[in-house]
Structure 1
């Protein structure tokens, strides 16, 4: 079965060239800032500053700076760099205000630097417990901070919202803002609007009920909250929006939370006074596992609420019946475009499902949706409503496994897009990567680990050289410059691997992007011609930004390989090249003369497992358990990406008691490997050990051949 599913994947991949009240709280919020960073400054940032995650409220990630341009970018050199103490994925966008650069790193740490010299001004560590990692789907990452007034705001992985003093980094207040610290995490960057800090959470693979909430900037007290999926109908509904949404669900969805988490994209539109946000997948992925039927609102949607009260305004669901993890939590960009001969204020969105959507920003009215990659989960989009028609074969819970294009990592994942009003193009970091889905039989929820209802053993990569080679060959990335008016690509740059970095565009006719292979590259924004590159020594996931001080323009980007592609995709994680994580901030300017230290050599890992002495039944049982509980951190088919330990090389393979002490007793809890005794028995741990030994021997033989 696995060979059949993965063979199909290898064959498919080459083709991919209301007037209602909010949930709670009251209107209003913190005092609007009149000094420091203000709403007016975020709405129209000073030319040389970068004050919010996407630079301004419209989240265009476009800079008007032109000193560095397509004529001189070849002279760009390293101005300064700073190496971090944590070797995890780095996903944050630095912010710059009044000569200070503010960044967050993995484990939700925050640092402030002199933006000109790189001197460290202060550092803050929220001391997130490392065992939090077990409920973080995609590494211990953090995507950035927010600035407002005289404060810096950060969401922590363990679910706190923290306000820091901008000058000293000392905490002003700290609040736990998640419903519980078992199913929820925070990895996204906060946004601040009219004295309120906006943040949601992650957790749609666990037992989370999605929401976005606003908190007073001065106290951290909740002002309003809007849930994205309905709760238990027996408890009553918070508002009409939840009552309407409940009609699109079936089964007892609330027992698993429902998903729909607001884990990344939040955009404020001053023109309409609406907060627009994207929601995550329904939970569990496999609808049959919880008796789920229907569209499952408001999952995999864009939702708009009133910024002052949190009241529902409109929604547009991009992926009805989501069973493929097609989050709509990707960055939402606002733009003014000439469409059909008239100026339209629109939303530009390219979610995981492989389409670029254009919507009216005030009403959510559908304007267009166009695929930017090969799509097989849907057979088309209704030209009037924008609703996708689901391919019957994609409903894998009803029969055979299904290999989807795009896959669960998405045609566009969290890495931010950029829109240039100068070129009129939307720049997208695109993944060309399929994913096989198979429904687990007799699946039941547990208290730990992913709750997706999938069979990760059936769909794991086989130890078959031909299948692996075909899948590797067809799994690529693309930088796409998309014309949202013409509804087609203006140009493309093909890249060896998926999971490349986010995008920055500038008025200097430049587009910057880091790659999974470790290069930081500049292209011409109009034509896509490569003009400059810099070897950063480690993969780049984060989006760059740019700022100016004393007449000099700087370009900055966070470096550090990790995230979901590294931890979960097994052998495909090595498509770009095998490399260690070197987490650092690099900053460039014209004529920069600094140099990086030599990269430490990669240690060669030799497979030398003990002989397989278990039974086929033990290995199969262990593989099924590994597929459910282990592969999200240690890699598909026990092949780690490099961030977390590769268990095929574990010294504990020869020692059943050592495996049990880790898996059952939690001997390595301080390193993030918590006990799984609530879901596994000692004999289960031993079966997983037999599976790992079998896999290590299979791959040793594969390497020898």
Structure 2
């Protein structure tokens, strides 16, 4: 329940534009003259090409969101000489997920709490900083950390969303405000963490909050004025109020029974979009249902459109063109908001314009992007909820016990709600013919919450299961933990199989970048930034970032030098809730921007990691009170403080509270003592007895940790 806000004292440094460690640029060596005239001309052309600035103008680099750079100055032959050019430490300590943009020698990026920064891309000098002043207590309305995935740019104007649902436009030159509009209903727990996209004179943005109870939509605003141009609702509202379009009316036919609109229905467009200029189609990825459990949300069944779907819209007016639903009747949090890539593939010997996606449900989809026709769908991760996808019907063939019905506990199921692939962007390398997926196996045991009651503004999943700590059976728990993996999958969309894999210590690793230099870059949960050979997966170079990395890298060239940049900083959904499932262990958050070049010679300061100290008080609670406290903890606290109260490192570990913090328990939990850090008071939601019971559970978890630490220390002593 405790959340950290940026350090206000550190913000005072912005007025002085403090420059962090930067390496001086080295002049390029002159090109030797050749006696062969043709070779000299070729060398001159190559030198001219290397001198050409290459920018990163859009979120996915291009409208098709391929995240493949044609730069090859840094290649598999010289990447071993890559070094840190400069870095910048942000005054925040929460998840960092942004894709930087590099335009006219300026790098624009965002940090947690929706803060925006502009740096000189070569020297690292901070040019300006913008704080949208989001209310810190809005953090309670976010499922998955106070993150932001970046800005959009057009004609000297920047656009970004805020965690409290606003869309803001700034002047790129100096960071001054152009306009600031509220895109959501502030009476509902909406948020924005995704990056906007721009199509001509429109900036497109969705929102999040499905788990907490909202109705999803995507909207277009005029880039100059901020006026709303259109809005497309992804799920139907109350039928008594009528429907906004024929497409929404058609969707309503696929919902049955209950009153889904009271919770909201879900279907938020919280991340991925792509645009095809030739077809003039905007593709949006739609999220999970609210609540997750269809038996509660839509008790008469139905596909529940447009949940878990790719929807194609006309960007001028938001009108519906086609949809493809990856998970009909979604009930497992299998979103289709994951990264979508537009490209051309040879299918059965014929060129096809396609859209590719690896959504949470574990299947890799290739669709015709003009019509939505399914061309292929094959499992890229471990999948137990469906045997396959029927290419004739386009529907998954579910296994007999996939749905957790009538209060029954389902089997250990793959994927879980973290997904076979989450938001972390893929990369499509046309040279290698591969799509690189930051994949993972994270199973779950689903069970209907028979006591479900809509709690406005809080988690409304309709399932009372959690991953690793849920099984009381130690054997089953070990089975769960042993099955959790993290992987880079080099997926061949033509062969419909993995060509090679790289195994990580655990899940929740960063997004991908591939280049024409036969390189693949990725940061990981272990705190390393790594370069691989793109055609084989061989590791070629790595850098210790001193913090877990979840964001994707970018690359650019300025004044003849190619750079690679990445935003580092541990956080996001699994970093908060992962607990023992993380496997790589808890990682500290050091929010920083890292920029590399060949022969860069800057260095990070030594990292000093704080060791957790477990010093619990005597246990005043009974076994019944502790069990009751665990149940309430799973309702209100697990998404920030971790499965089994094991923090992933981005938020305080409640097992390591000091005696002073134990004494302040009620003041923090009920009274909101730390509201400015995002930890609101739960005095209106929890009784004193419930708060006490959570405290007793925290003490029990601390005592277990203390005993384990003492045993480990004794073993090391011998």
Q: Taking structure 1 as the reference length, what is the TM-score of the superposition? A: 0.90
* 1:319 alignment counterpart: 327
Q: What SS class does the counterpart of residue 528 from structure 1 fall into?
A: coil
Q: Answer yes or no: is the 8 Å Cα contact 1:267–1:277 preserved in 2.
A: yes
**Structure 1's 231 and 651: CA in aligned 2 closer, same or farther, altered over 3 A?**
same
Aligned with residue 413 of structure 2, among 391, 404, 416: 404
* 2:167 alignment counterpart: 161
* 2:400 alignment counterpart: 392
Q: Answer yes or no: is the 8 Å Cα contact 2:169–2:180 preserved in 1.
A: yes
CA distance, structure 2, for counterparts of residue 92 and residue 527 of structure 1: 28
CA distance, structure 2, for counterparts of residue 243 and residue 291 of structure 1: 16
Aligned with residue 342 of structure 1, among 350, 353, 356: 350
Deviations 1:147-190 (A, max 9, x none): 00110111011111110001000111110111225410000001
Q: Does residue 129 in structure 1 map to residue 124 in structure 2?
A: no
Aligned with residue 490 of structure 1, among 474, 490, 499: 499
**Structure 1's 473 and 459: CA in aligned 2 closer, same or farther, altered over 3 A?**
closer
Aligned with residue 203 of structure 2, among 197, 200, 204: 197
Aligned with residue 114 of structure 1, among 115, 120, 126: 120
Q: Aligned-pair distance for 1:456?
A: 4.2
* 2:222 alignment counterpart: 216
Aligned with residue 679 of structure 1, among 685, 688, 706: 685
Q: What SS class does the counterpart of residue 210 from structure 2 fall into?
A: coil
Q: Aligned-pair distance for 1:377?
A: 1.1
CA distance, structure 2, for counterparts of residue 652 and residue 57 of structure 1: 54
Aligned with residue 275 of structure 1, among 258, 272, 282: 282
Aligned with residue 255 of structure 2, among 244, 249, 260: 249
Query: How do residues 373-384 of structure 1 correspond to structure 2 at under 5 angstroms?
Result: 373-384=381-392
CA distance, structure 2, for counterparts of residue 697 and residue 123 of structure 1: 44
Q: Does residue 453 in structure 1 map to residue 462 in structure 2?
A: yes
CA distance, structure 2, for counterparts of residue 327 and residue 339 of structure 1: 27
Q: Aligned-pair distance for 1:197?
A: 0.4
Q: Answer yes or no: is the 8 Å Cα contact 2:616–2:702 preserved in 1.
A: yes
* 2:94 alignment counterpart: 88
CA distance, structure 2, for counterparts of residue 53 and residue 230 of structure 1: 30
Q: Does residue 511 in structure 1 map to residue 510 in structure 2?
A: no
**Structure 1's 168 and 231: CA in aligned 2 closer, same or farther, altered over 3 A?**
same
**Structure 1's 340 and 225: CA in aligned 2 closer, same or farther, altered over 3 A?**
same
Q: Aligned-pair distance for 1:613?
A: 2.7
Deviations 1:179-228 (A, max 9, x none): 22541000000111111000000000112111110000011110011000
Q: What SS class does the counterpart of residue 394 from structure 1 fall into?
A: coil
* 1:43 alignment counterpart: none
Q: Aligned-pair distance for 1:569?
A: 1.6
CA distance, structure 2, for counterparts of residue 654 and residue 493 of structure 1: 42
Q: Aligned-pair distance for 1:455?
A: 1.4
Q: Answer yes or no: is the 8 Å Cα contact 2:586–2:647 preserved in 1.
A: no
* 2:7 alignment counterpart: none
Q: Answer yes or no: is the 8 Å Cα contact 1:88–1:140 preserved in 2.
A: yes
* 2:60 alignment counterpart: 54
* 1:586 alignment counterpart: 594
* 1:229 alignment counterpart: 235
CA distance, structure 1, for counterparts of residue 523 and residue 594 of structure 2: 11
Aligned with residue 610 of structure 2, among 603, 609, 614: 603
Counting matched residue pairs gives 657
Q: What SS class does the counterpart of residue 480 from structure 1 fall into?
A: strand
**Structure 1's 291 and 358: CA in aligned 2 closer, same or farther, altered over 3 A?**
closer
Q: Does residue 139 in structure 1 map to residue 145 in structure 2?
A: yes
**Structure 1's 585 and 458: CA in aligned 2 closer, same or farther, altered over 3 A?**
closer
Q: Answer yes or no: is the 8 Å Cα contact 2:585–2:648 preserved in 1.
A: no
Q: What SS class does the counterpart of residue 670 from structure 1 fall into?
A: helix
Aligned with residue 179 of structure 2, among 173, 180, 187: 173
Aligned with residue 432 of structure 1, among 441, 466, 482: 441
Q: Aligned-pair distance for 1:469?
A: 5.2
Q: Does residue 614 in structure 1 map to residue 613 in structure 2?
A: no
Q: What SS class does the counterpart of residue 691 from structure 1 fall into?
A: helix
CA distance, structure 2, for counterparts of residue 467 and residue 703 of structure 1: 24
* 1:27 alignment counterpart: none
**Bigger CA radius of gyration:** 2
* 1:42 alignment counterpart: none
**Structure 1's 411 and 544: CA in aligned 2 closer, same or farther, altered over 3 A?**
same
Deviations 1:65-113 (A, max 9, x none): 1111111111111111111000111100110111111111111111111
Greater mean deviation of Cα atoms: 306-315 or 433-442: 433-442
CA distance, structure 2, for counterparts of residue 204 and residue 378 of structure 1: 24
**Structure 1's 454 and 197: CA in aligned 2 closer, same or farther, altered over 3 A?**
same
* 1:688 alignment counterpart: 694
Q: What SS class does the counterpart of residue 287 from structure 2 fall into?
A: coil
CA distance, structure 1, for counterparts of residue 469 and residue 70 of structure 2: 47
Q: Aligned-pair distance for 1:655?
A: 5.5
Q: What SS class does the counterpart of residue 532 from structure 1 fall into?
A: strand
Q: What SS class does the counterpart of residue 342 from structure 2 fall into?
A: strand
Q: Aligned-pair distance for 1:703?
A: 4.3
Q: Aligned-pair distance for 1:403?
A: 2.2
Greater mean deviation of Cα atoms: 246-255 or 306-315: 246-255
Deviations 1:566-606 (A, max 9, x none): 11122223x11333111111111111111111112x22213
Q: Aligned-pair distance for 1:390?
A: 2.2
Query: How do residues 514-593 of structure 1 correspond to structure 2 at under 5 angstroms?
Result: 514-573=523-582, 575-593=583-601
* 1:70 alignment counterpart: 76
Q: Aligned-pair distance for 1:457?
A: 7.0
Q: Aligned-pair distance for 1:644?
A: 1.3
Q: Aligned-pair distance for 1:529?
A: 1.2
* 1:500 alignment counterpart: 509
CA distance, structure 2, for counterparts of residue 127 and residue 91 of structure 1: 19
Query: How do residues 657-668 of structure 1 correspond to structure 2 at under 5 angstroms?
Result: 658-668=664-674
Unaligned stretches of 5+ residues in structure 1: 1-45
Q: Aligned-pair distance for 1:145?
A: 0.3
Q: What SS class does the counterpart of residue 621 from structure 1 fall into?
A: helix
Q: Answer yes or no: is the 8 Å Cα contact 1:344–1:360 preserved in 2.
A: yes
* 1:39 alignment counterpart: none
Q: Aligned-pair distance for 1:461?
A: 4.5
CA distance, structure 2, for counterparts of residue 433 and residue 160 of structure 1: 33
Unaligned stretches of 5+ residues in structure 2: 1-51, 712-718
Deviations 1:259-305 (A, max 9, x none): 01000001111121010010110110122334442211101110010
Q: What SS class does the counterpart of residue 131 from structure 1 fall into?
A: helix
Deviations 1:347-377 (A, max 9, x none): 0100011110000001101111000111001
Q: Aligned-pair distance for 1:607?
A: 2.0
